[in-house]
Amino acid sequence: MASRSVSPGGALLRASRVFSIPPPLPRPMGELSSTAIFNSDTATLPHPIHQSITTPQSSLARGDWGFKRPLPLRSTTKTSTPFIRVEAIDTFEHITEFNSSADHSITLQKWQEMGVPLTTAMPDTNRGDFKAGEVRSVFESDLDSIAESDGGSRGKEDTRWKFKGPWLAGQTEGDFNAFLTSEVRKRKPEFQQYLRTACAKALTTEARHAAEGEMPPAVEASEVTEAQFTEFVKGLRNTRAELYKHIRDFLDLPPAPAKKVDVEQLLRNNGVNIPDNNVLPASRSPYAETGPPKTHPSAGLSYSLTNAHTYNHPVWGPQKNPPPVQSRVVMPKSAATGQFGAALGVGGFVTELPAGQDSFNLGGSGRFSRQHRQKEAPGTLTVDPSKVGGSKLWVHPTKAHVDPKGRVVLTVESGDPEAVAVHEGTTDQIPVVATPKLSSRTYGMGHAPSFDNLGARRNTGRGYGLNLGGRSEQAPARKEKPGKQDDPLSQLTGLM
C-alpha cells in the first residue's frame, strides 16, 4: 500500500509493472574481422538486453500481463514457456510489440539446475594471493567489492571489479585519443589540485620522518609553494610507476597488465630481479591481464560460492560425482571450416572438449570406458547422420567465468562411466573387475604383499554405492588347493 503522502498518480506508477521495466541495454556489437561474418537478427544474443516477463497461469488465461492492454491469447497461451520481452509498450499503431524470451529464461533455469559456480579467470602467473592456475569464487570478500581507492597503497581496492575509467590496455589508438580529448583534458585543473594535495602529503611524511622531537603538523595544500610543487612534479616525471599510480587514483583506472620477466636481464643480474622505478608494479587483480568485466563477474547466473555438495541418489546413496549433463556436438572437428576442436552445447552454452583430449574420453582405463569412447568419439570427428538430434556426450561442468565481453566461458570434464551408468540406470552393464590376488614375497622374517595388479581394481564402482562383487564373470572363482586353507595370506586374500 502506498503512503498517504503519495499522489494517486504516483501510487499508480509505483504499483505499475510498466513503470518498473528498465530500459533495454544496447545490442552487443560484432567482432572486427577481415573475413565476412553473417549475423542473424533472430539469433540468440550473447546476453539478454530486455527484461524477461512472466505471469501466473490464472492471469495468463485472460491475457493479463500487467500492461496497458491484454496480450493476444493465441500467441501467449499455446506455449510451454510463457516468457516474453517487450520491445515497445505502446507503438504508433496502439499495439504492444513483444517476442518470446524463452531462449535466455530457459538457459538460466538450465544453468541453475547444473549448479556451476562462477569463478575468476585463471591467472598465468602468481599475483599476491592469487596463484597461477588457481580459481576463486567471485563472491569472496576481497573480490566482490566496488570500493574506490583512497589514494593509499594498492590493497583490497585493487582487486575490485568496477572502475569508473576504461581499461587502457584494451583500447585502440582511436579510442584512447578520444578518451584523452573528451575526458582527460577538461580535468587538467582538477588533476593539478590533486597533485598539489599529494605534494602536501609527501612533504608532511618527509617532515615527520626528519623530526626528532615533537611531531610537526600536517602540511595543507594551500601552504605548498610553487617551487615545492614544481620540484614534486619533476620527481614524478622521472618516476613512471609513481606517476601512473597518481593517474590511476585520479581517473579510477583498472590495473594494467604486468610486464613480462626478462630472462636475459635476470641472467645478467645473476638471478636477482632489481626493481626499476620506471616499470609498473604487478597488480594483485585477477582482471589485470584481461580487463574488468562490464557487469558483476557472476552475471546473475549463480550466487553460490562452490559446488561442494554431495548428490544423494535414492537407490545407491551418496555419489562420488554429481549427475552428468548431456551435451550435444554442435560442431565436429573440421579443418575446412577452421574449427580444429569440436564444439559442445551444454545447457545453452557452447564450450570445447576437455583440455588435453584429442578425442572424447569418458574417463577410466577399463573395458567399459573403451567401449563408450569408441561409440561416442565419431560424433566429435565427423557429422553422423544416423544420430537422431545429433551426437550427444555426457560431461561434468566444473567451473565457468565471464570474460570482459560478457561471454560465459564454461569448462567441462569427461563424464565418469559409473556416474553415467547410475544416471541412466544401466549399472547392470558395468563389467565386474576381478579382485587381484596378493602374491607373497619374502621380506625379512615375514611376507610382504605385492600390489602389482592393483590398477586392475579401479573401475569397481567405489564411491557410488554399487555392489559389484569381487569376481569377474570372465574370471570364475579358483578352488583352493588342499593344505592352503590355514595359510594366513590366503585368508587375507579372501577378505580383500
Per-10-residue mean pLDDT of the chain, 496 residues long, equals 66 70 79 57 80 90 87 88 88 87 91 90 62 76 70 59 87 90 91 91 87 81 88 86 87 79 51 54 77 85 86 89 89 65 86 63 44 52 80 89 85 89 86 55 44 42 62 43 45 38
Total residues belonging to the chain: 496
Q: What is the pLDDT of residue 191?
A: 92
pLDDT confidence of residue 405:
78
**Residue in the structure block whose three cell numbers are 620522518:** 209
CB under 8 Å to 398, separation ≥6 — which residues? 116, 411, 412, 413
Q: Residues with Cβ < 8 Å from 378, sequence gap 6 or more?
A: 384, 391
Residue 244 near residue 284 (C-beta atoms within 8 A): no
Count Cβ atoms below 10 Å from residue 486 Cβ, excluding itself.
7
Strand partners, 352: 343
Q: What is the pLDDT of residue 446?
A: 45
pLDDT of residue 84: 92
Give the pLDDT confidence score for residue 492 in this predicted structure. 35
